[in-house]
Structure 1
Amino acid sequence: MTAGARAARPAPWPGDPLDFADVTSEDVPLDDEATRRRLDEAVAAVDAPDVVFALSRHGRRTVRAGGTAPPPLVPREQARYEMGSASKTFTGLLLAHLTDTGLLSAGEPAAALLDPARRPGEHPVTLAHLITHTAGLPALPADFFARALPAWRTNPYARYPAERVVDAFLRHRQRHRPGTRWHYSNFGVAVLGHALAAATATPWDDLLTGHVLEPLGLSGATLGPGGPDTDATGHRKDGTTPVPPLVVGGFQAAGAVRATPYDLLTFLEAHLDPSGRPLAGALRAVRRPVLRRGAGHRHVHTVAWFQHPTERGPMYFHGGATLGQQAFLGFRPDIGTALAAVCTRRFRVRDAFVPTAYALLAEL
């Protein structure tokens, strides 16, 4: 996670950030062989048991897989992978959809939705603050580490259930006015999920499935572990020790999604061209900048994505990591291209996976 930074006030609409230099690109057509070669090079650059790079360009898909381990029982390109923080792009799209259809307002105070008896304060934390990481919340609740420590190397989030997430938020004392500072927060997006579930009187799994996964046709995506016949197995940094499947506890909205590379391409293709698709209004909304921060305001955020410039147009992306897996999602409307990359090894320091995926999408 990244330390906080001052942010410009979010627009009325009120993963982990990456600090790469601005990039340029040329829309040079690639033939099928050149595309496969580029993806094979990306797969080979990542030292992990299982690696998949899936590319869609103007609707034409190319998926390449490999890794340091023997091929698993489930083909790598057909397995479900843990999205970690990349799940926030699904949560952001859900919020955009609920506001686009008039079911909710992004300016609603979250505490009032979670505790109707509570009176909003002068500067309440809104749903928009939570999704844009400007609510003034820490990355995790203050008592999270003490509760999670006994399971730190297996499933730390499993020890922090939904009711504790909500209670920690309602008890939290703000140090800064919401909307004035940016600080990446799994805590905040988790609270958002519970607020949306309360506002719609719908359990989170049913809410996201019914409004996002099913309408977009993501038939292989789930919000919980399946088994060895469907899910990829994560590994520690040694590349051989397996990691148990992620159990997210009360942090569903911040990191519960599992999906196949093909489902991820379907998800990203919907963002490339929302016309005529379900959730078209929301898909357009999540491409609009709502916040700028950092030196020269060069870091641009939408409701669901980090945005960097290229010579041809904006590039949208989000990363995610669990104890044993990593994911990268990105798309560029300027060249009709989307990239989903996943691997089954979690590194504790910056490694080749994210830079390789980012550079591949930026340079196409």
Structure 2
Amino acid sequence: MTAPSPTRAELRAIVDSVDAPDVVMALSQDGHRTVVTGGTGPAGARGARLHAPAPAHTPACARADLRFEVGSVTKTFTALLLATLAHQRVLGFSDRLSALLPPPVPPHARRDAITLFHLATHTSGLPRLPWSVYLQPRGRFHANPFAHSTQPRMLGAFARCRPRSTPGTRWHYSNFGVALLGPALARATGTPFTDLMATHVLGPLGLADTTLTGPYDHRDALGHDLTGDEACPPFAPGGWAAAGAVRATPGDLLTYLEALLAPGSHAPLADALRYVQEPLLRRGRHREHTHTIGWFQHTSEHGPFFFHSGATPGQEAFLAFRPSTGTALVALANRRYPPAATLQQSTYNLLA
């Protein structure tokens, strides 16, 4: 039976159900794109307003052209970068993390056994976040927990941590682990992480409207707090760029997913694009949860599909694609609480 394609009406229903100033649903079906936008706030340029008003001549930016913070969806970009460097033999999946980080890293059996593969697959034994992040003063519920988490502090937290389990034996989602790929890949190649991403992933895929760094301007969606009324400062990932720094337009995110749907069309990255879709481990009581290097994979009657969600203190994102039907979905909103369940679950349901 042929899988039904999500309709514009279904996309519109999701957009209208999310209480956020700006909401975007973007669909690619066999390369044909449909974008539906909406929201409770006035459409236009608001990205730079938090710091300074935009010049009078600055044109309004349509919601479909805004760059949104995608939070943990960044991890899929980092996984693709790692796979690319590994397939180019610049480094190896089995390279030990402790050997790639600046000394001193005190010896510890479990810590010394962590590899780059363990970090990318959330099997390092590291916690979701180190205690140093939880102990940061935040002041407000939506404040950025990484505001003071510089790379030296993150590396210091790693040097003090004791993995909960032997690396490779247990899956446990870890922002900490993926974030450590940033300094590890940078040290292994002698190139800053953001430059590596631009050279090996963003550039080859043609993602000109995707970035991991500032400055922020009228093209950037402005995040909002749980009330939807108060603006959040732009997300500053500190030393955690590899786990949550990406900002991208809906169009670039569809281009990214379309590359995953058609790896052979992107010769420099073809092997890596295929590899990040390979099932690597299963977990759950009935082994119902499948993981690749960077993506979650679930089953449906029309074939397996891949997905990842993300959030910053003021924004939400959900990306999904199903190779068997050539379908890719992007869902974005610039208010995190409480629309996550509506935005992410509704988008998931379109494929599941």
Asked if these proteins are the same fold (TM beyond 0.5), I'd say yes
Q: Cα 1:189–1:60, aligned 2, differ >3 Å: closer, same or farther?
A: same
Write the distance in 1 (CA, Å) between the matches of 2:316 and 2:43: 18
User: SS at 2:98's partner residue?
Assistant: helix
Assess if the C-alpha contact under 8 Å between 2:106 and 2:159 holds in 1: no
The CA deviation at 1:66 is 0.3
Counterpart of 1:66, as a letter, is G
Aligned partner of 2:91 among 99, 104, 113:
104
Is 1:45 aligned to residue 17 of structure 2? yes
Q: Which moved more, 1:57-66 or 1:233-242?
A: 233-242
Is 1:190 aligned to residue 166 of structure 2? no
Aligned partner of 2:37 among 65, 73, 97:
65
Q: Could you list the structure 1 runs, at least 4 aligned residues long, displaced by more than 2 angstroms after superposition.
A: 115-123, 147-156, 224-228, 348-351
Aligned partner of 1:285 among 275, 293, 301:
275
Assess if the C-alpha contact under 8 Å between 1:45 and 1:356 holds in 2: no
Find the counterpart in structure 1 of residue 216 from structure 2.
227
Q: Unaligned regions of 5+ residues in structure 2, if any? A: 46-60
Find the counterpart in structure 2 of residue 353 from structure 1.
343
Write the distance in 2 (CA, Å) between the matches of 1:224 and 1:29: 35
1:1-364 equivalences in 2 (<5 Å): 26-28=2-4, 35-73=7-45, 74-115=61-102, 123=110, 124-150=113-139, 153-277=142-266, 278-347=268-337, 351-362=341-352
User: SS at 2:147's partner residue?
Assistant: helix
Write the distance in 1 (CA, Å) between the matches of 2:186 and 2:317: 26
Across the aligned residues of Structure 1 and Structure 2, the Cα RMSD in angstroms comes to 1.8
User: SS at 1:136's partner residue?
Assistant: coil
Q: Cα 1:212–1:226, aligned 2, differ >3 Å: closer, same or farther?
A: same
Counterpart of 2:24, as a letter, is V
Write the distance in 2 (CA, Å) between the matches of 1:62 and 1:195: 39
TM-score (norm. length: structure 1): 0.87
TM-score (norm. length: structure 2): 0.90
User: SS at 1:143's partner residue?
Assistant: helix
Q: Cα 1:141–1:349, aligned 2, differ >3 Å: closer, same or farther?
A: farther
Counterpart of 1:173, as a letter, is R
Q: Unaligned regions of 5+ residues in structure 1, if any? A: 1-24
Write the distance in 2 (CA, Å) between the matches of 1:291 and 1:241: 41
Q: How many residues end up aligned between the 2 structures?
A: 334
The CA deviation at 1:252 is 0.4
Write the distance in 2 (CA, Å) between the matches of 1:325 and 1:100: 33
Assess if the C-alpha contact under 8 Å between 1:225 and 1:246 holds in 2: no
User: SS at 1:235's partner residue?
Assistant: coil
The CA deviation at 1:284 is 0.1
Deviations 1:308-347 (A, max 9, x none): 0011211000000111100001100010010111001111
Q: Cα 1:349–1:240, aligned 2, differ >3 Å: closer, same or farther?
A: closer
Write the distance in 1 (CA, Å) between the matches of 2:250 and 2:130: 32
Counterpart of 2:290, as a letter, is V
Deviations 1:103-129 (A, max 9, x none): 111111101111467697655101011
Identity %: 51
